[in-house]
Amino acid sequence: MAPPAGQIRPAKYLASFVLIVVALYALVFLTGNGSAKPKLGIDLQGGTLVTLTARQEDGAQPSEEALNRARDLIEVRVNGLGVSGAEVVRDGNNLVITVPGADSEGAKGLGQTARLAFRKVIGQPVPAGAVPNPTQSSTPPSGDASTPPSTPPSQSVGSPPPSSGAPQGRPAPNLAAQPSSTPPSSSTAPSSTAPSTPPAPSNVDPKVAKEIQEAKALRQSTDPQVLQQAALMLDCAKADPLRGNDDLDKPLVTCDEKGEFKYTLAPVNPPKEDTETKADDYTNYSRLTGEDISNAAANANPNGTGYVVNLDFKSDGGTKWGSFTAANVQQAVAVVLDGEVMSAPTIQAAISGGSTEISGKFTLKEATNLANTLKYGALPLSFDSSEAQTISPTLGLQSLKAGLIAGGIGLALVFVYCMFYYRLLGILTILSLVLSAVIIYAFLVLLGRVIGFTLDLAGIAGFIVAIGITADSFIVFFERLKDEVREGRSFRSAVPRAWVRSRRTILSADAVSFIAAAVLYVIAVGQVKGFAFTLGMSTVLDLVVVFLVTHPLVALASKSKFLSNSNLSGLGGAAREGAAHRATTTGKTTAVKEA
């Protein structure tokens, strides 16, 4: 049988709270790297600063629109929900990224353009230091587990490879038949094929433009012989000027991300003038880029150690992927990110549906960063990153100590006031606030792991303000309890009635505070987002503490003869005021009757 309105089983509620705390701290200590400390912001622990310098294919100065778009995308990548404490600011044609902590590689990776494409592999990949055979056939081999040791480790897409039987190769794209803007020349050195660089406008960097144009003329030629010479000359140890600048409508000679193998790859799209005539040609052209991806996520590798990035295609992308894999069974397809081969698995069977995966022996961090980069979109510019610089805290631990001291003083004043004014109820207030701090701390640690939340001085200010909101909830309940006692009810009978009448007020007040924090979070930028986030989170946790801790503890105290003593509970004054008021009212009524 359910208890009357306002009456509860306190043990049940307190047990629920204990289970929540145990579950949270089990996650804190049993997940992550075992650290039970929240992440701190730049102003408390310092950080890493990286400057990204924009560069365009023609060496011209990037436009304002492109720079602002790149800044917004990088800010989304680095700052996620806006509570990681990272900053991205423009400095002329540079973007300056500051992230908390000493993750220099992670900061550099934020400038990755993340232009993803799927290209068919032409011929055998060769080790980075090997000299390719000029007479090598351009027909792609199978690339399965029987590949000689000079090829990369075998990977596959689709069903497992057959146990026997040689895979059937398919003809490679007829590169010589494709129109070329670069006159091929097989009788001269490859460098002579590079067109002369046109006169550069005043806002163009001639050196950058020349490097890109020469690399394109050599490594994206439509002449197979020039491509073979390009593979011979390519140095995987050097910076690639085509990073993020390769032409998707032309072949590409490039390296894998680790600089261990060289690949010759087919175009992604047919030449523009042949698009209509080759509309159904998926044997040579995948037509798949990052724009066809709807979502990307990092997951554990189901076929081994490490992690993979699972991609979900849009409807058109899923159709292209199915057609391409059906036309290229037992052929290798390269997953190319910013001109580098991430992985080159063999297609074992036609893949229907709108999903696939990128495998490359990623760590969890690498897979997560790549998934986020692909999910949020490619940058409109390519960037060169500077060496990472370590910056010291702008305010430091002294400021943190000062903020904590200020919060401690405010909290102590609240304790003193509650003890003086509410006595036993004041002790319950203090206990509730302590338990609220316990649950908030666990949330800080877990949010730092899950969404990258970092605690800075603005966030600490949000928690200090939330102390007042939490105390207000207690005061509303206790004052309503005093009102019930003034009306002549005992402590025990007053608790359920006071809770029913104060509960709506508490919910309304916290709802207003949460809405204000949510609006501030949406419209704010920078550290103000952190303040709004902590304020809103504390408001929600305040309700958890009031409903699962404060109310049950007060109900337990009301059932104890010792604790319900009016002098000890702090309700004696209210009881005397009520008795005096009733005596005065009764005396006046008697006098009126006698008159």
Three-state secondary structure readout of 181-194: CCCCCCCCCHHHHC
61 domain residue, yes or no: no
- Mapping DSSP to helix (H, G, I), strand (E, B) and coil, where does residue 453 land? coil
CA 413/CA 262 separation, integer angstroms = 69
Q: Which one of 363, 386, 405 terminates a domain?
A: 363
- Mapping DSSP to helix (H, G, I), strand (E, B) and coil, where does residue 94 land? strand
- Mapping DSSP to helix (H, G, I), strand (E, B) and coil, where does residue 319 land? helix
451 and 564 share one domain:
yes
Please give the pLDDT value at position 108.
60
Which residue from 17, 18, 10 is spatially nearest to 492, judged by alpha carbons? 10
Task: Fill in the amino acid letter for 113.
Answer: T
Residue 570, token pair as written in the block? 């702090």
Cα 80 to Cα 74, 99, 122, 453: the distances in Å are 10, 12, 39, 9
Specify the DSSP class assigned to residue 162: P
216 domain residue, yes or no: yes
65 near 56, Cβ under 8 Å? no
178 near 271, Cβ under 8 Å? yes
232 and 139 share one domain:
yes
Q: Which one of 363, 385, 415 terminates a domain?
A: 363
350 and 423 share one domain:
no
217 near 230, Cβ under 8 Å? no
CA 229/CA 225 separation, integer angstroms = 6
Q: Which domain holds residue 210?
A: 116-363
321 near 288, Cβ under 8 Å? yes
CA 84/CA 99 separation, integer angstroms = 8
460 and 320 share one domain:
no
Residue 301 makes CB contacts below 8 A (sequence gap 6+) with 307, 308, 359
172 near 266, Cβ under 8 Å? yes
Please give the pLDDT value at position 24.
92
217 membership: H or E segment, kind and range: helix 206-219
73 domain residue, yes or no: no
233 domain residue, yes or no: yes
Residue 582 makes CB contacts below 8 A (sequence gap 6+) with 488
Please give the pLDDT value at position 254.
92
Report the 10 Å Cβ neighbour count for 489: 17
407 and 355 share one domain:
no
Q: Which one of 323, 341, 363 terminates a domain?
A: 363
Please give the pLDDT value at position 289.
85
Q: 340 φ, ψ to 5°?
A: -115, 140
410 and 505 share one domain:
yes
Q: Digits of tens for pLDDT over the chain (595 positions)?
A: 445 555 678 889 999 999 999 999 998 888 876 677 888 877 777 777 788 887 765 666 777 888 888 887 777 777 665 556 677 888 877 888 877 776 655 666 666 666 788 899 988 888 877 554 444 434 333 333 223 333 454 455 553 333 333 333 333 334 333 333 333 333 333 333 333 444 444 445 677 778 888 888 889 888 888 888 888 888 888 888 887 778 888 899 999 888 888 999 999 988 776 666 666 778 888 888 888 888 888 888 887 778 888 888 888 888 888 888 889 888 888 888 888 888 888 887 887 777 777 776 778 877 877 787 777 666 777 777 666 677 676 656 676 677 778 778 877 887 888 888 888 888 888 888 888 889 999 998 888 888 778 888 888 888 888 877 888 888 888 888 888 888 888 888 888 889 998 999 999 989 999 999 999 988 877 678 888 898 999 889 888 999 999 999 988 888 888 777 767 766 666 666 666 766 676 655 555 455 4
Please give the pLDDT value at position 176.
37
Catalogue the E-assigned strands of 66-105. Answer: 87-91, 94-100
479 and 562 share one domain:
yes
Cα 287 to Cα 20, 119, 183, 223, 267: the distances in Å are 50, 8, 25, 21, 9
27 domain residue, yes or no: yes
Please give the pLDDT value at position 169.
35
197 domain residue, yes or no: yes
435 and 515 share one domain:
yes
Report the 10 Å Cβ neighbour count for 70: 24
Our count of domains for the chain comes to 2
Q: 90 φ, ψ to 5°?
A: -90, 140
460 and 524 share one domain:
yes
Specify the DSSP class assigned to residue 348: -
179 domain residue, yes or no: yes
348 and 399 share one domain:
no
24 and 144 share one domain:
no
Task: Fill in the amino acid letter for 249.
Answer: D
433 and 489 share one domain:
yes
Please give the pLDDT value at position 155.
53
Tokens 């423009």 belong to: 90
102 domain residue, yes or no: no
CA 261/CA 256 separation, integer angstroms = 6
393 near 102, Cβ under 8 Å? no
Residue 398, token pair as written in the block? 């002294």
CATH code for position 418: 1.20.1640.10
